[in-house]
Amino acid sequence: MTEITPTDTSCGFIALVGAPNAGKSTLLNSLVGTKVSIVTHKAQTTRSQVRGVVTTDKSQLVFIDTPGIFAPKRRLDRAMVDSAWGGAGDADIVALIVDVDRGLTPELEKLLEGLDNINHPRILILNKIDTIKNEELLKLSEAINANLRFEATFMISALKGYGVSDFMDWCIKHIPPGPWHFPEDHLTDLTMAITAAEITREKLFLRVHDEIPYNSTVETESFKIQKDGSYKIDQVIYLSRESHKKIVLGAGGQTIKSIGAESRKELMAMYEVPIHLFLFVKVREKWGDDPERYREMGLEYPHGKD
Ligand SMILES: Nc1nc2c(ncn2[C@@H]2O[C@H](COP(=O)(O)OP(=O)(O)OP(=O)(O)O)[C@@H](O)[C@H]2O)c(=O)[nH]1
């Protein structure tokens, strides 16, 4: 094996920013080659920054999946949007992900204005190209580039993997020289406890509807590696309304049982060990105003009135 000295290596942070549901987490997973960030069809799934690491011969790319940027209403929204802009501000390269099916919306125009103040190289990623015709795609690319200057534009489908490696190659060429931030076998900075909570949150989001996902959070209270190699995981689902509890539990506890079963199945496949997962449901009307819940999510608590 050849030794790599720090002067040979390059390392860069690339923030993936965009409106909710643009496909940032799907892109992160496609870049890393495994699931590190949860994905649902619902907007505002990602709540804090999730880093995914790709290490090639001499380069380390740290992609930062950020919460979607939208007009915040609640305290949690503000924390999520602040976290997304924080991710953009700290990165070496900022990649704006656009859902081409939605096009140049007023929400996207606002985002372009915000990105104008960011002093790092910006690139445009037109995602979901599997959903529209080529002529429309070219028109959209021109319209967005006329609004704001980008160093490069990529047309991709994160879901199908089209164009993802071109984007990665561009990043490898444009990151600064420097030592790696993570060991070369690291894929993410999330702990197993947080990953496990995120997987359960994804199953909850997919299973229950309406306003419940936005008013719930999942925390791992204890994560123990047992003598036999299995993992014992206790998690709490926090809800903000008593009326939601009945829905999350379901008749005879069926709903929570199936959320637990889905989560356990995925965690077993991920860690390749037996998993004992115990889910508890707690109603905390004001969890959205509790700084401890934000810390658990990896978010700064935004002070001031909600
Ligand atoms: N057709 C199509 N769908 C995609 C593509 N990329 C992502 N999606 C879908 O878009 C939805 C949102 O994807 P996410 O990756 O969760 O989007 P996000 O930007 O991380 O969303 P937030 O967490 O809300 O910020 C999911 O249903 C994905 O399967 C794509 O290239 N083509």
Q: 196 and 169 share a domain?
A: no
Residue type, 169: D
Q: 12 and 127 share a domain?
A: yes
Atom of ligand 1 nearest to the CA of 162: 31
Contacts of residue 83, Cβ cutoff 8 Å, sequence gap at least 6: 47, 48, 49, 66, 67, 298, 299, 300
In 3-state terms the chain splits into helix, strand, coil percentages (rounded to 5) of 40, 25, 35
pLDDT at 7 over 90: no
Residues 171, 180: Cα–Cα separation, whole Å: 15
Q: pLDDT class for 303, splitting at 50, 70, 90?
A: confident
Range of the domain at 12: 6-174
Q: Specify the pairing of strand 231-239 against strand 93-99.
A: unpaired
Q: 123 and 216 share a domain?
A: no
Q: 158 and 13 share a domain?
A: yes
Q: 68 and 148 share a domain?
A: yes
Would you say the CB of residue 26 lies under 6 angstroms from ligand 1? yes
pLDDT for res 203: 97
Would you say the CB of residue 43 lies under 6 angstroms from ligand 1? yes
Q: 250 and 137 share a domain?
A: no
pLDDT at 304 over 80: no
Would you say the CB of residue 23 lies under 6 angstroms from ligand 1? yes
In the predicted model, what is the mean pLDDT of residues 225-243?
96
Please determine, for the modelled complex, whether the ipTM score is greater than 0.95: yes
Tokens of 147: 């609004």
Q: pLDDT class for 270, splitting at 50, 70, 90?
A: very high
Q: 227 and 104 share a domain?
A: no
In the predicted model, what is the mean pLDDT of residues 221-233?
97
In the predicted model, what is the mean pLDDT of residues 214-218?
94
Annotated binding site for GTP: 18-25, 65-69, 127-130
pTM: 0.94
Q: 18 and 147 share a domain?
A: yes
In the predicted model, what is the mean pLDDT of residues 139-160?
97
Q: 31 and 86 share a domain?
A: yes
Q: Specify the pairing of strand 59-65 against strand 50-55.
A: antiparallel
- Residue 1 counted as domain residue: no
Q: 170 and 196 share a domain?
A: no
Q: How many domains are contained in the chain?
A: 2
Phi/psi at 7 (5° precision): -70, -20
What pLDDT digit, counting tens, does each position of 183-200 carry? 999 999 999 999 999 999
Would you say the CB of residue 109 lies under 6 angstroms from ligand 1? no
Average pLDDT of every residue of the chain:
94
Ligand 1 center to 276 CA (angstroms): 30
Chain mean position to CA 45: 7
- Residue 33 counted as domain residue: yes
Write the CATH number for 118: 3.40.50.300
Would you say the CB of residue 25 lies under 6 angstroms from ligand 1? yes
pLDDT at 5 over 80: no
What pLDDT digit, counting tens, does each position of 50-76 carry? 999 999 999 999 999 999 999 999 999
